[in-house]
Amino acid sequence: MNIFLLPCYNEENSIKDVLEKIKKKFPSSKIIVVDDGSTDRTFQISKDTINNLNIDGIILRHRKNMGLGKALSTGINYVIKNFEEGNLVILDADSSHPVELTKKMLQELEKGNIDVVIASRYRTGGKQINLSFVRNILSRIFSFFFHFLFPNITDFSSGYRAYSVKFLRENFKRIELDKGFASSFELLFLLLKKKAKVKEVPLILDYSKKKSRSKFNFKKVLFSYLRVLSKIL
C-alpha cells in the first residue's frame, strides 16, 4: 500500500490540485492530510475533494497552528499506529513537489534493502529554481556539512521523501519532532541513527509552481536548526 502524507497550513489554492494528481496517478493509495490549524478554506476544500473523488483519505486537524514538525509528527505517528507495512510518501501540499517523481521514488524503495528514498535537489540531474538566496544558502550549508558524515546523502533538508512503513514501525513507537522547518532534517538524522539505508533520486524543484505565500522566516528557521543541532550533536 502507498500512503501519502500531506502536512499543510493555509494551502487553499493548491491542496485540491495536489489531491487530484495523487488520485490520478495512484488511485488506490491512502491519503492523510494534516491540517495544521489553517485559517483559510484548506480543511473544507480537502474534505470536499476527498469526498468528490472518492479518495481513501482522512484529515487530521490541529486546532491551532503548531508548526511543520508537529504536523509531520501527527501524521507519522498515525501511520505507525495504524499500518503494519507499505510505503509512506511525504510531500508538500503547495504544488512545488512534482507528484510524478513519486513513481521513481517508490520503484527504488521497493527494490528492497532501502528504507528511505530522498528526492534530492543536489544529486546529479537535480536543481532548484526560483528559491530565495537566503533559503538556498542555508540549505546548502547544512547539507554540505553533514555530507561529510554521510557521503551517500546530498540533500538533508528535502521534505519530499518515501519511507518504509515497516522500518518506521520496527524502530519507533512514536516520533516527536521539532516544530520548525528543521524537522525534516531531524527526522532523517533519527532514521540514520537507526541505521536506515538511504537512496536518493534527483529532484527538479521549481518554486514558481508554489501556489501559496512562502512561510519561510529566516529567524525561526535558524533557531529551529539550532534547537535540532543541540539535541543531536
- Name the pairing type of β-strands 161-164 and 87-90: antiparallel
Q: Give residue-wise pLDDT tens across range 20-44.
A: 999 999 999 999 999 999 999 999 9
The one-character DSSP state at 100 is G
- CATH numbers and ranges of domains, the chain: 2-232 (3.90.550.10)
Q: Give residue-wise pLDDT tens across range 68-103.
A: 999 999 999 999 999 999 999 999 999 999 999 999
Within a 10 A sphere around the Cβ of 99, how many other Cβ atoms? 21
> HSE on the CB side for 173, CA within 13 Å?
0
Greatest CA separation found in the chain?
Answer: 48
The beta strands (E) that lie in the chain are given as: 2-8, 30-36, 56-62, 87-90, 116-120, 127-129, 161-164, 198-202, 204-206
The residues near 103 (Cβ < 8 Å, ≥ 6 apart) are 25
Q: Give residue-wise pLDDT tens across range 135-187.
A: 777 777 777 777 878 889 999 889 999 999 999 999 999 999 988 778 999 99
Question: pTM of the predicted model, to two decimals?
Answer: 0.91
